[in-house]
Structure 1
Amino acid sequence: MEKEELVELQVSGMHCNNCALSVHKLLEKKGLHDIYVDFANDEVKFKTDDPTSTPLIIKEIEGLGYKVSEDSIPIEEKSYEKIENKFYFSLLFTIPLFSHMFLPFHWLHNPLVQLALCTPVYILGCLHFGKSAYHSLKNGIPNMDVLIFIGSSAAFMYSLYGTIQNLGPDFLFYETAATIISLVLLGNLLEKRSVSQTTSAVRDLMLFQEVKANKMLNGEIVEIHSSEIRPGDVLVINSGDKIPVDGEIIWGEASINEAMLTGESLPVEKSKYDQAIGGTMIEKGSIQILVTKTGKHTILSQIIELMKKAQAAKPTIQKLGDKVAAIFVPVVVGISVITFFLAFYAFDVSFQKSMLNAIAVLVISCPCAMGLATPTAVMVGLGRAAKNGILIKGGNTIEEIAKLKFMVFDKTGTLTTGNFKIRALDCIQISEKKAESIISGIEGYSNHPIARSLVTELSLKSPEKMIFIKVTEEKGLGMTATDSEGNTYMFGSMQILNSDEDPGNYSLFLKMNDILVARIAIEDEIKPEAVNLIKTLKKLNIIPVLLSGDQKKKCEELGAVLGIEEIYAETMPHQKLAIIDEIKKRGKTAMVGDGINDAPALTSSDVGISMSDSSHIAIQSAEVILLKSDLSSIDNMLKIGKHTLLTIKQNLFWAFFYNIVAIPFAALGFLNPMVGALTMAFSDVIVIGNSIRLKTKSL
């Protein structure tokens, strides 16, 4: 199978969630994957197995009535294409037309004056809603614009017939046609502005990239834009400046505020050889950095991409709304037709009143609110999580978080600090100095917290390291290496011991040519926030589980201190996988881990949670990355997940409730089309407003 290619397009002309749904459904019908449609920012992304089909897909999107560009630069809308200007234009004619109902000016009651005022608004409606309705029907994806177009056209054509036949004021509904179009345009305008607030977290992050930079060039400092920076450039960054891209500090010291990345308000002290992350800010000091990553390769860009993908991933709860919205338009048209015939023929209601009731049913129906209910809440929830240093990779993960029954923890580097000290070194057949040299050399190739701690401690004690020609790491076992003389070494847990070899009270073992030559006892400290987290989980009826490759005795001691009853010790990666699968049968399960040996379990669990200082493989395997190694982030994650799901349920309730109540009221004649159009516009705003409330809501 060919590798999937990501296609990014700029699509202008999408004014509401209804437009975005039309594009999304079209791309789904084409069998594309990882579809992301953001009408507020005119962005469309998808993955395809066949990149040569992209021009055809672009043509089909244009067939829906939108403009498409493959350039990353947004398409500049002409002034008459902007939704604001369309609304103001229609309002200019609608106000005098509508005012004839309560102003005593006889000329406003003249059918020809009303026709003259309504015609420009109706033509605008045909171009805006009619064009979209036609293309949606042609592509078999009927949208909300079909209802608006039928409703406004019915009112206009009926009034035009009354004017031509001179049938009197009872046949004139020009103000209804114009008001429907104006109010729905107002709804589109409010929706676009409101949704742009729900995506502000991504936009805020993108703004961090738009900065100037001071580049060292031939001994002089030259100011350039961040887009002109290339890997290998040397940048000078002073107090108060933003760091434009990722790099390594080659000169100077600074206090760097990384709050935008981790949510941590206290600045981090950094000096030579430390990593500087693009988007963070220097509060005090001055540094020079050697640029290592630019553009899409920087940590900030990857976070932005992950957030966009997360917003595109649909929670299971949204599928209900999608199914209803898919059949909604034809059902509403059917109800409208039945309303007209029952009122006119069965209940002897006047033709005009029957027509108005049918139009009201069309106009008041609002699948937009259903379509907006989930994505707006997910966007705000993901944004709030990101500002708290919690990166959630999928909108569907939010729902999983809210339903967790078990949380499984790795021990080392997760519940404990991962800062190990050597308590005892027992050398059996080699000198202490040689043992330290071998261990320091072999562990330098591992990213495991124990390995990092041992290398740091041994480097201070003895800077000598043995050189190896080949080193490999085996999950759950340890390191294997070969030196230039052909000697083989193994360093790892008690799993590498033979049955006749005594582990004693030691944790790690060194073998040379399959003979045990040294043993190490290490000690680790519990993270200060671990005890409170376990208490919080129990209050939330989430069962904590300890799953570790460490010795049973050590795991039981840790479990006793923290209050964890369910413990699995001395497990290999494949065993961790089997245990996670068993726990999942009892309820939704999260796994919190940080090492290469946790990767399979992180992938298998319903929600994989990884620390930011974890191994690269662990980060790739997880659905949630905690940008702070502080375990209290998990408490925040659970609260955000719970309140986001609650907001989605509230939104869906109001969206369904609105339609269930409004359609019968309209069919029975209690709501005229103009009131219907107004309430339809504001039902969207209520749903979006409830989602935006999640930004500042107390958790």
Structure 2
Amino acid sequence: MQELKIKIGKMTCVNCANSIEKISKKIEGVKDASISYVNSSGVFLLEDDKVKSDLFKKIKNLGYEILDEGQDLEKYKLKQFSKMKLNLFLSVILSTLIMYFEMFVKNSFSKDMQLLFSIFAIFYCGRSFFINAIKGLKYKNLDMNTLVALGSFMAFVYSLLVYFKVFEKDEHLYFSGASMIISFVLFGKLLEEYAKFKAQDYQKKINNLNTKKANILVNNEFKEIPSSFVKVNDILIVKEGESIVADGIVIEGKAELDTSFLTGEFLPVLKQKDSEVSAGSIVLNGFLKIKVSKKSMDSTLEQIKDLIFKAGNIKTPITTLVDKISAYFVGFIIIIASIVFIFWSLKSGFNEAFLYACAVILISCPCALGLATPIAIVVALASAAKRSILVKNPSALENLNQIKEVIFDKTGTLTQNELKIYKHNLSEENFKFLAQIESFSSHPIAKAIFKDLNLDFHSLKGEVKMYIGKGLEYKEQGVTYLAGNENFLKEKGIDTSKTKEFFKKFLDKAPVHVYFSKDKECLGGVCLSNALKQEVKDLILSLKQRKIHSVILSGDNEKSVRQIAKELNIDEFYANLKPHEKLNFIQERQKKNSIIFVGDGINDAPSLNLANVGISFAKANDLAKESGDFILIKDDLRLIDLCFKISYKTRSIIKLNLFWAFFYNTLCIPIAAGFVPFITLNPHLAALAMCFSSIAVVLNSLRLKNLALQEAKL
């Protein structure tokens, strides 16, 4: 068995992804398939490499495109979007010209121009509808393309027969109605693509995370090579500020590493001889000589990349209401039109039968259906943007309605991104001096102490020595000062018991401690906290009122996570988790509930992708922002509550749009079919009625315009 991951172009809706998945699974040798419309990608489980050519051929036969590995998906989407805009522009211009000739120029030249312009408007501007409809029929996959193509084609054919005087009693041409169908549906598709264009390829940022070059030791000499060529047992040399490009074991040196991409913990981790290190970690200070245990392509960083791709392709149980109904609606309308044609053929002849059947198709053309969802979503996106919410994946607006559980990362999500001083027992003079000494260090703890006093950069002239993972030593005029953890001072023979007793009082609130001594005397210390964000409690309370369960998943230590959970009155929490463990947890929970994951780190990216809805922050890691469905531009968690409000209102508007579209059809189809006494609705009026239906949907959607400003008071 082998896994194949590919990019797929020309998918225009969820039905496209479903169609590819359905057909692919029928190919001999394809054991499983998962297609993501939003991610423009597919993952296939193949028996062997020979099946690949058959798979590619089948996908291309369906009308889709297999993109090369090096092809930029974003550029491809921009190119397709530009083509759609050009088609819409030409269609509107041509439709306007046809209507002008139809209404104001009454001669044979007018009819010639209407025919000529409609050929281009229908079969050039709307060619994608016809191509997809024909291929859909070939594989028994009826969708909205079928009705669009059928409705416009019937109107064109009928008008063509009138043009050639086959129907002598009717002199009215419906070329304008046929071309306007194409214009309306193209407009709806353009709005939908515009709304979804923000959802970019998830792999774009993560591919830039790894260092492009690596320094390896060969015959006692440094050699720079591309990181992708690093092999098992190579010796890596990594200095301050550099990234580790492969997993391995430290054989020499000592350094503090930023491993937040993996654990979510923002405090540096000390690594020394025999310690395991992971690719993607950044050396903050020190030096490491590492023996590679996995080649670069098998590293933890590459595994996270793979998790992100797969998470983006895992199917959720939710499908859009429009797609579900459309599959039945199209077949139903074709059957109704056929019955109408047969009925009137037997009763009044071919002329009237064709007229009524064409009217049924036109009145049922899914312009309103096509606009119902994208128009409402585009307006909702604008409303959200006014309140600092960027909606990257529009389908997430609907998914929010199903949410039963919200899972939070802790560090940087529920808590502040930096440490703050909670208490200290130093004199004012000693505290100021400690802050000046700490200004020599770039360590997060040192930065927090120095920042608290708003001092200028250090003006001290003594000697400073850093002890990685312990603290620092400062000497001036024969006096030695130490600032660091308890073990560091004990190694120097200093009694820290009194200061330790002081720290015990605040252990739950402030678990990070710094001791400060002068010569052999401990002067006291500073305890620091990673405080909760101010608005977190309001959000948790709001979620409880909505009967939504809250959970904390964190890579941080259990004591810290337990304290945060206690403050927020959250009963369920888990600590010391790695990215794949978070992912497994979410997969298990999704079997029972739809969930939201809220996070901000690289390690959260797979979970943000897999969850039914992922929420991140504008100041979060780039990869987390790419992976989230919602991006909170302001660092205010109460915006999550506003996301729910916008979602509920949007869903209500979409439901009303769909109800109107189907109610309109239900009301008008009998009239168009000629079954209502004393009322006749010919194709021309049917096309006009279809336009009114679309306008009603747009006006209803515009009620979302000021929703965010009306309901949010943040």
Normalised by the size of structure 2, how large is the TM-score? Answer: 0.55
2:637 maps to what in 1? 631
Inter-partner Cα distance in structure 2 for 1:439 and 1:34:
52
Inter-partner Cα distance in structure 1 for 2:158 and 2:659:
31
Instruction: For residue 25 of structure 1, report the CA deviation from its aligned partner.
Output: 8.5
SS of alignment partner, residue 360 of structure 2: helix
- Structure 1 contact 201–384 (Cα < 8 Å) conserved: no
Q: 1:6 to 1:145 in 2, by over 3 A?
A: closer
Inter-partner Cα distance in structure 1 for 2:417 and 2:641:
21
Inter-partner Cα distance in structure 2 for 1:631 and 1:525:
15
Inter-partner Cα distance in structure 2 for 1:377 and 1:618:
27
Instruction: For residue 367 of structure 1, report the CA deviation from its aligned partner.
Output: 2.3
SS of alignment partner, residue 383 of structure 1: helix
Instruction: For residue 437 of structure 1, report the CA deviation from its aligned partner.
Output: 9.8
1:453 maps to what in 2? 448
Instruction: For residue 629 of structure 1, report the CA deviation from its aligned partner.
Output: 0.9
Q: 1:468 to 1:375 in 2, by over 3 A?
A: farther
The question of 1:381 aligning with 2:354 is answered: no
1:339 maps to what in 2? 340
Instruction: For residue 51 of structure 1, report the CA deviation from its aligned partner.
Output: 6.0
- Structure 1 contact 404–542 (Cα < 8 Å) conserved: yes
- Structure 1 contact 333–362 (Cα < 8 Å) conserved: yes
Inter-partner Cα distance in structure 2 for 1:690 and 1:683:
11
Query: Which of 133, 145, 148 is 2:149 aligned to?
Result: 145
Q: 1:423 to 1:539 in 2, by over 3 A?
A: closer
1:174 maps to what in 2? 171
Counterparts of residues 535-614 of structure 1 (less than 5 Å): 535-547=541-553, 562=568, 564-568=569-573, 570-573=575-578, 580=586, 583-595=589-601, 598=604, 601-614=607-620
Q: 1:53 to 1:693 in 2, by over 3 A?
A: closer
Unaligned 5+ runs, structure 1: 10-18, 38-44, 59-67, 98-107, 164-170, 205-312, 472-478, 484-488, 493-500, 512-516
Query: Which of 65, 68, 84 is 1:49 aligned to?
Result: 68
Inter-partner Cα distance in structure 2 for 1:588 and 1:443:
42
- CA deviations on 1:293-329 (whole Å, 9 max, x unpaired) are xxxxxxxxxxxxxxxxxxxx99976655346556766
- CA deviations on 1:604-657 (whole Å, 9 max, x unpaired) are 543332233334454455332211112222222221222222223223333333
Aligned pair count?
A: 503
Q: 1:87 to 1:396 in 2, by over 3 A?
A: closer
1:677 maps to what in 2? 687
Counterparts of residues 110-125 of structure 1 (less than 5 Å): 117-125=110-118
Q: Which moved more, 1:382-391 or 1:600-609?
A: 600-609
Q: 1:325 to 1:123 in 2, by over 3 A?
A: farther
- Structure 2 contact 122–178 (Cα < 8 Å) conserved: no
Inter-partner Cα distance in structure 2 for 1:396 and 1:121:
40
Instruction: For residue 422 of structure 1, report the CA deviation from its aligned partner.
Output: 3.1
SS of alignment partner, residue 366 of structure 1: coil
Q: Which moved more, 1:541-550 or 1:21-30?
A: 21-30
Q: 1:606 to 1:150 in 2, by over 3 A?
A: closer
The question of 1:644 aligning with 2:653 is answered: no
1:226 maps to what in 2? none
Inter-partner Cα distance in structure 1 for 2:98 and 2:131:
23
- Structure 1 contact 34–46 (Cα < 8 Å) conserved: no
Instruction: For residue 344 of structure 1, report the CA deviation from its aligned partner.
Output: 3.0
1:508 maps to what in 2? 512
- Structure 1 contact 130–145 (Cα < 8 Å) conserved: no
Counterparts of residues 27-106 of structure 1 (less than 5 Å): 48-49=67-68, 82-95=90-103
Counterparts of residues 172-571 of structure 1 (less than 5 Å): 172-175=169-172, 178=173, 180-186=174-180, 319-322=320-323, 325=326, 332-345=333-346, 348-418=347-417, 420-423=419-422, 444=443, 453=448, 456-457=451-452, 460=455, 463=458, 504=504, 505=507, 507-508=511-512, 521-547=527-553, 562=568, 564-568=569-573, 570-571=575-576
SS of alignment partner, residue 322 of structure 2: helix
Q: Which amino acid aligns with 1:126?
A: I
Instruction: For residue 545 of structure 1, report the CA deviation from its aligned partner.
Output: 3.6
Q: 1:690 to 1:24 in 2, by over 3 A?
A: farther
- Structure 2 contact 17–37 (Cα < 8 Å) conserved: no
Instruction: For residue 84 of structure 1, report the CA deviation from its aligned partner.
Output: 4.0
Q: Which moved more, 1:394-403 or 1:329-338?
A: 329-338
2:213 maps to what in 1? none
Inter-partner Cα distance in structure 2 for 1:633 and 1:434:
41
- Structure 2 contact 550–572 (Cα < 8 Å) conserved: no
Inter-partner Cα distance in structure 1 for 2:626 and 2:86:
39
SS of alignment partner, residue 355 of structure 1: helix
Q: Which amino acid aligns with 1:172?
A: K
- Structure 2 contact 38–196 (Cα < 8 Å) conserved: no
- CA deviations on 1:478-520 (whole Å, 9 max, x unpaired) are x79999xxxxx9989xxxxxxxx99953613689xxxxx9996
The question of 1:663 aligning with 2:677 is answered: no
Instruction: For residue 193 of structure 1, report the CA deviation from its aligned partner.
Output: 6.8
- CA deviations on 1:48-72 (whole Å, 9 max, x unpaired) are 2356899xx99xxxxxxxxx99699
Q: Which amino acid aligns with 1:128?
A: A
Q: 1:340 to 1:22 in 2, by over 3 A?
A: farther
Q: 1:194 to 1:130 in 2, by over 3 A?
A: closer
Q: 1:368 to 1:442 in 2, by over 3 A?
A: farther
Instruction: For residue 676 of structure 1, report the CA deviation from its aligned partner.
Output: 1.0
Instruction: For residue 599 of structure 1, report the CA deviation from its aligned partner.
Output: 5.1
Instruction: For residue 404 of structure 1, report the CA deviation from its aligned partner.
Output: 1.8
SS of alignment partner, residue 413 of structure 2: helix
Q: Which amino acid aligns with 1:124?
A: F
Q: Which amino acid aligns with 2:385?
A: A
SS of alignment partner, residue 629 of structure 1: coil
Normalised by the size of structure 1, how large is the TM-score? Answer: 0.56
- Structure 2 contact 95–118 (Cα < 8 Å) conserved: no
Q: 1:672 to 1:590 in 2, by over 3 A?
A: same
- Structure 1 contact 551–569 (Cα < 8 Å) conserved: no
Q: Which amino acid aligns with 2:548?
A: I
1:255 maps to what in 2? none
Instruction: For residue 530 of structure 1, report the CA deviation from its aligned partner.
Output: 2.8
Q: Which amino acid aligns with 2:615?
A: I
- CA deviations on 1:237-284 (whole Å, 9 max, x unpaired) are xxxxxxxxxxxxxxxxxxxxxxxxxxxxxxxxxxxxxxxxxxxxxxxx
Inter-partner Cα distance in structure 2 for 1:185 and 1:607:
39
- Structure 2 contact 181–367 (Cα < 8 Å) conserved: no
Inter-partner Cα distance in structure 1 for 2:641 and 2:94:
47
- Structure 1 contact 407–592 (Cα < 8 Å) conserved: yes
Q: 1:584 to 1:323 in 2, by over 3 A?
A: closer
Q: Which amino acid aligns with 1:49?
A: D
Unaligned 5+ runs, structure 2: 25-34, 41-63, 138-144, 199-313, 474-482, 487-499, 516-521
- Structure 2 contact 617–632 (Cα < 8 Å) conserved: yes
- Structure 2 contact 411–417 (Cα < 8 Å) conserved: yes
- CA deviations on 1:362-408 (whole Å, 9 max, x unpaired) are 22221233233223323332333233222233122222223222223
- Structure 1 contact 4–48 (Cα < 8 Å) conserved: yes
Instruction: For residue 677 of structure 1, report the CA deviation from its aligned partner.
Output: 0.8
Q: Which amino acid aligns with 1:590?
A: I
Sequence identity (%): 27
SS of alignment partner, residue 92 of structure 1: helix
Q: 1:687 to 1:433 in 2, by over 3 A?
A: same
Q: Which amino acid aligns with 1:364?
A: I
Inter-partner Cα distance in structure 2 for 1:36 and 1:617:
15
SS of alignment partner, residue 598 of structure 2: strand
RMSD of aligned Cα (Å): 5.6
Q: Which amino acid aligns with 1:92?
A: Y
